[in-house]
Chain A
Amino acid sequence: MKNKSYLILIFIFLSIIITAVPAFAHKVNIFACVEGNEVYTESYFNDGKKCIHSKIEVFNDKEIKLTEGLTDDKGIFIFNTPESTYLKIVLTASAGHRAEYILELGDSGEDLLDSEIETKEIIPEEILNENIAFYISKNEISLLINEALDKKLTPILREIKKSQEDDISFSEIIGGIGYIFGIFGIIAYFLSRKK
């Protein structure tokens, strides 16, 4: 009986340690993308919590501050695209957490990482009156679709890449502990058979 009670005590001790773990896995992220002539930024902690009322500063490549502000209740901060091709967006959240996001813009303010849209050739008047579909080959359609998808997916892909941070979940830890008990249980079984 005493065996069980001390095992339970140690297990409670362990569970207390485990619940303390998520608080220490802190890291902040900021994500930014261009929408029209505004820059949309979103700031959040590694565990998904939003950074509320945190300071955002925007610098150019010469470290001159272009603009600054605070994130709103959803961690979002939007500002008009400044006159610079290089934007360093710095987030300062509580207790010394800091994150940066670099945006490199083209001349007309669009995000350079998005693929360029090719200029379409001008279709003459006579053809415009007929069914245009005959004059757009399958290749052109797939090209257009690919370009549109690239433009939409690039910010999402970047977001996915960034969100593959080391986020240690409670269930993974419990799984690891289960594996450990399993391994030692097997070892115990074989050792007991030897006797």
Chain B
Amino acid sequence: MHISEGILSAPVLVVEAGLTAAAVSYAIKKMDYKQMSKVAILSSTFFVASFIHIPIGLSSVHLILNGIIGILLGWSAFPAILVALTFQAVLFQFGGLTSLGVNTFNMAFPAIISFYLFHRGIKGKNHLKALIFAFACGFLAVMFSAVLTAMALSFTGEVFIKIAKLILVTHLPVMFVEGILTSFCIGFLRKVRPEIFEI
């Protein structure tokens, strides 16, 4: 879902870059330096996850993991994803530097939305409810990212409905895989280290 250089028009790039800058500065103000190892590990996980390709039809899609990153980091998901995307763009030409703001917003905004929607259920007492919420979190975070990506592309001339359908359909397996993955991770962390959910 990384949008490369030279695809999007200038207004889209500038607007989303502005939104990302605002969110990142807010997140850094709120950040506690004691959380830093958690942020760094999840940023690295996001970095590596983008290289796990799932071949779909003629192309291939990759894991995003923004569901679990949102739950564990909250607003710090923005700087985490921004840093990971920067190094992907610089080291592997994966994505782009001008589209950094767009890509960060498209992947980090669903993360923070998932946090606000699901974190109470995931930290609650009922274990089964937490697992179901975790699945929904992973699933919907990817779906929302797909919609945001389609919106960004539609402002550059693509027909929104057509491109949205295409991205959503090709990422459907990713949504299911991430839902299950988030569920397993949250279940494991709840049992082994519940303090990790404190932000």
Contact = CB atoms under 8 A, between A and B. Distances in A.
Interface stretch (B30-38, B100-108, B134-142, B149-157): B30-38
Given A176-B88, A176-B91, A188 B51 contact: no
A21 interface: yes
Interface string B49-86: 10111110000100000000000000000010001100
Nearest to A172: B91
A37 to B, nearest CB: 37
Contacts of B44: 14, 176-177, 180-181
Question: For chain A, what secondary structure do more than half of its interface residues adopt (helix, strand, loop), or is it mixed?
Answer: helix
Given A176-B87, A187-B28, A17 B49 contact: yes
Contact of A168 (B41, B43, B51, B54): B51
A166 B48 CA distance: 15
Interface string A154-195: 000000000000101000110111011101110111011001
A180 B37 contact: no
Most buried by A among B45, B47, B48, B92: B48
Contacts of A179: 87, 91
B48 A177 contact: yes
B40 interface: yes
Nearest to A9: B192
A81 to B, nearest CB: 32
Contacts of B53: 24-25
A127 to B, nearest CB: 58
Nearest to B47: A176
B48 A21 contact: yes
A173 B41 contact: no
Contacts of B54: 24
Nearest to B193: A6
A7 interface: yes
A135 B47 CA distance: 65
Interface residues of A, number: 32
Contacts of A18: 48
A177 B92 contact: no
Most buried by A among B28, B49, B193: B193
A52 to B, nearest CB: 22
A52 B119 CA distance: 51
Contacts of B55: 24
B21 to A, nearest CB: 16
B33 A180 contact: no
A10 interface: yes
A24 B52 contact: yes
Contacts of B196: 6
Contacts of A187: 28, 31, 33, 36, 79
A166 B40 contact: no
8 contacts: A17-B49, A17-B52, A24-B54, A25-B53, A176-B87, A179-B91, A180-B44, A189-B33
Given A6-B193, A173-B51, 12 more contacts: A21-B52, A24-B55, A25-B53, A177-B44, A180-B84, A180-B87, A181-B44, A184-B40, A184-B83, A187-B33, A191-B31, A191-B32
Closest 7 CB pairs of A and B: A188-B36, A191-B33, A184-B40, A192-B33, A188-B33, A177-B44, A24-B53
